[in-house]
Structure 1
Amino acid sequence: MAKRAFLDRTLSGEAVTGVRSIDIDTTNNSVDIHLFLDRSSVEVFLNEGEQVITSRIYPSESSLDFKLFAENGVVELEALDVWQLKDIWK
């Protein structure tokens, strides 16, 4: 079975649609994910940048969600670090 990472933009605002995906290397049964969210972009770096998905988004002001899941498998989240950047416009 192919191991793939997906970025689903179907709920990311009126101006964008579609799902992007890339193959991922899971030879050591783990995937290192660095996720960067901005007001209009998402960047996902997998396995220290070996694979990358980047996309524009246009969410509403109240849309602050993201989901991590596995189909036909299990995801175990070993660590989660979150940093909020200061707004440069205020």
Structure 2
Amino acid sequence: MKLIDHAQTLALGKGFRLRWEPLQACHVLLYPGGIIELNASAGWVLELLDGQRSVATVIDRLARRFPGVAGLEEDVLAFLEVARAKSWVE
């Protein structure tokens, strides 16, 4: 499988739905028969994936939202690789 590229557009995988869960105060990823509780960073990344924005745009928006965070680009790309391997994104 080739690495995620900045020009790619990604969206949640089929059968997955992202939702804010107020009782747990976090984003969760719902799928048939299960729920995945996400950390804040994962939720912020996944909420920007709409199938239209490029990975570069997602990284840029996060960098503007969290200025000065060292390694943000690398962390986002690494997370997206894991999320794709788990079929959370496609």
State the TM-score bracket (shorter-chain normalisation): under 0.3
Structure having greater relative contact order (Cα 8 Å, sep ≥ 6): 2
Greater share of strand: 1
TM-score relative to the length of structure 2: 0.26
Greater share of helix: 2
TM-score relative to the length of structure 1: 0.26
Structure index of larger Rg:
1
